[in-house]
Chain A
């Protein structure tokens, strides 16, 4: 009961503080004399990103991973907002967090939604260390088992890792192109190699792989 009271008082103080700011703001925004030019202001930080930044590294990515990967197989009322949110946090990933995501991505004991999510998030990160990690995921041999659907998913995950290597930012990294070429040379799976081809094409001509795929699908439509 006493704890409840203290929490309530703290909450009240917080809200009153907010109200005070609310009260003060119009005066500051409506100066009577013309104000000098303002210094450039940093872009506003979204609540999701602010929350991510507030957490210690690694712990924050583990929490994000648990929370966001659980959303993959669910209805998403706003996929664009999700994409934006993921892009924001992916840009802030630190090398140790990328290593942790890589470990999740290649762990067969982890659910495939989550493994796919780990690769997807790394692909949004666009850093040299991510390219290395994605290369290692892409080069993991696609298993051949009796569960060929599962094998297809493993293949799709490798393909996704390749795609992560050819974001516009990664295309500027010489090591990304080199490693895409290595995948073309050395990967055993035809579809993984095909992804690397398309990625190199994306790097050279600027057409994203997803767009190339959609064109391929449209071309099939025209051919029929």
Chain B
């Protein structure tokens, strides 16, 4: 008890001399300098004149073209550039040499030095308004588009431009927003290690290896890496792959490359047809559909209504909707999704997604029997097979028929599909055959298949055995 009281007295003395007195002095002093210190986070991030000068000198920045020197306000372009260079200099990464998107073109611990070595000067302009920035002989001109970006987007742009200094140019894109135009906006592949490659390397490091970057910045980098990697390389590394799914009674067979998986078919009406959907596949009967979970081996006896995909369109009455539903297809062509119905009298209805309603139906098309999405020649698209075996391609973009194909649909064929690069045919006796040789496809040996479709499989999805 005595010890306790003695300890308490000592603690009181300690408080008076080492806590209260200094605190009193600090309190007296605070008002003297409080007015000089900013209280908002944004204001704390002002650059010193010395620090700013170092960046501007290192990168030979034409400050006047960025609107003059600005040390504090991030709404000004000079400050935006300073923020970008600061982040490039101060970001720290754990080395990860083995990642395919990380080729160590830029050393992880020396982005700043690398940037400096690739930059002869920076200025601000808007002489090429459709570009975000451009590099001419090591001199970067940042356009209005650059200033409108997020911090991550601006940093990515600056790093991207720096790679051009070493002579890496772009090529016309085979897909994505620049696809089909003459504008050179893509790299051929990741292995080219061009500007997009270096930019993706940065984003990937931010996602996987950053030690001191904000969680929101990291989240943005992950989504930007996925979103852009999808189209800036003509040889795209991230892309949904095509699987082959067959229905054989109560069983389903999924072929994913060299792997073959058995799947339990969900409970569905006997007349239901297996159809490709945006998320995989469904068993469709009229306007009703049951979802097939291709990622899981068992449906556990469940029958899950497919309101994942376009069948949901039927749940709400909409003007100009089909009166009959004889067949139905959902197709993604490029980055656009189409949804078509073979309605009464062979009329084709397609859904106008941006407009939120049905397009006017096509003229009647007597004898139209069914949709197929793979022609006997292997061509993909939407085709109408008629009772006489003729095959009419239907262009969903302009909703017009093309001339009939030379090939005809034979009575002993139920479907064509791709098994990797191999065109396969589902015969009416339930055999799956190589379309060219007629040889049975081993993955379906011993099965009596009733339906066969290609389905999208997504890279990040794990297929459970």
| Residues of chain A whose beta carbon lies under 8 Å from any beta carbon of chain B | 3-4, 7-8, 11-12, 15-16, 18-19, 22-23, 26-27, 30, 32, 66-68, 70-77, 79, 82-83, 86, 111-113, 116-117, 120, 141, 144, 146-153, 155-156, 159-160, 163, 178, 181-182, 184-186, 188-191, 193-194, 197-198, 200-201, 204-205, 207, 210, 212-217, 219-221, 223-224
Given contacts A73-B151, A152-B224, A201-B461, contact A221 B100 (CB under 8 A): yes
Q: Are B227 and A26 in contact (CB under 8 A)?
A: no
Given contacts A11-B27, A70-B45, A189-B335, contact A181 B153 (CB under 8 A): no
- Additional 14 contacts, C-beta under 8 A, given A213-B222, A216-B226: A22-B11, A71-B41, A75-B86, A79-B212, A79-B218, A113-B150, A116-B220, A149-B132, A149-B145, A194-B240, A197-B279, A197-B458, A210-B219, A213-B460
Please, which residue of chain B has its CB at the minimum distance from the CB of A118?
Answer: B216
Q: Determine the chain A residues whose CB is within 8 A of the CB of B177 once the complex forms.
A: 144, 148, 151
12 A/B residue pairs, CB under 8 Å, sorted by A: A4-B28, A23-B8, A30-B4, A72-B216, A75-B91, A75-B212, A112-B149, A113-B151, A146-B129, A207-B462, A213-B222, A220-B459
B334 CB → nearest A CB, Å: 9
Please, which residue of chain B has its CB at the minimum distance from the CB of A20?
Answer: B15
Query: Which are the 4 A-B pairs with shortest beta-carbon distances?
Result: A73-B151, A11-B27, A112-B150, A19-B15
Q: Are A214 and B207 in contact (CB under 8 A)?
A: yes
Q: Are B308 and A73 in contact (CB under 8 A)?
A: no
A64 CB → nearest B CB, Å: 11
Given contacts A26-B7, A149-B149, contact A76 B214 (CB under 8 A): yes
Considering residues B23, B279, B310, B460, which has the most beta carbons from chain A within 10 angstroms of its beta carbon? B460
Complex Cα gap A169–B24 (Å) = 48
Residues 298-326 of chain B: 1 if any A CB is under 8 Å from the residue's CB, otherwise 0? Answer: 00000000011110110000000000000
Q: Determine the chain A residues whose CB is within 8 A of the CB of B7 once the complex forms.
A: 26
Q: Are A181 and B149 in contact (CB under 8 A)?
A: no
| Residues of chain B whose beta carbon lies under 8 Å from any beta carbon of chain A | 1, 4, 7-8, 11-12, 15-16, 19-20, 23-24, 27-28, 30-31, 40-42, 45, 74, 83, 86-87, 90-91, 98-101, 129-130, 132, 145, 148-153, 156-157, 177-178, 185, 204, 207-208, 210, 212-220, 222-228, 230, 237-238, 240, 278-279, 293, 295, 307-310, 312-313, 332, 335-337, 353-354, 458-462
Given contacts A156-B227, A188-B353, contact A16 B20 (CB under 8 A): yes
Given contacts A27-B8, A72-B151, A149-B153, contact A12 B353 (CB under 8 A): no
Please, which residue of chain B has its CB at the minimum distance from the CB of A68?
Answer: B41
Complex Cα gap A216–B241 (Å) = 12
Given contacts A147-B132, A220-B237, contact A185 B20 (CB under 8 A): no
Q: Determine the chain B residues whose CB is within 8 A of the CB of A185 once the complex forms.
A: 278, 307-310, 312-313
Considering residues B23, B157, B354, which has the most beta carbons from chain A within 10 angstroms of its beta carbon? B23
Q: Are A79 and B215 in contact (CB under 8 A)?
A: yes
Q: Are A7 and B31 in contact (CB under 8 A)?
A: yes
Q: Determine the chain A residues whose CB is within 8 A of the CB of B150 once the complex forms.
A: 72-73, 111-113, 116, 153
Please, which residue of chain B has its CB at the minimum distance from the CB of A147?
Answer: B145
A40 CB → nearest B CB, Å: 28
Complex Cα gap A106–B12 (Å) = 57
Complex Cα gap A33–B213 (Å) = 51
Please, which residue of chain B has its CB at the minimum distance from the CB of A156?
Answer: B223
Q: Are A188 and B226 in contact (CB under 8 A)?
A: no
Q: Determine the chain A residues whose CB is within 8 A of the CB of B151 once the complex forms.
A: 72-73, 113
Q: Determine the chain A residues whose CB is within 8 A of the CB of B214 once the complex forms.
A: 71-74, 76, 79, 82
Q: Are A146 and B101 in contact (CB under 8 A)?
A: no
Considering residues B27, B156, B293, which has the most beta carbons from chain A within 10 angstroms of its beta carbon? B27
Q: Are A181 and B308 in contact (CB under 8 A)?
A: yes
Q: Are B222 and A194 in contact (CB under 8 A)?
A: no
Q: Are A215 and B462 in contact (CB under 8 A)?
A: yes
Complex Cα gap A30–B91 (Å) = 48
Q: Are B208 and A150 in contact (CB under 8 A)?
A: no
Q: Determine the chain B residues whose CB is within 8 A of the CB of A212 once the complex forms.
A: 460-461
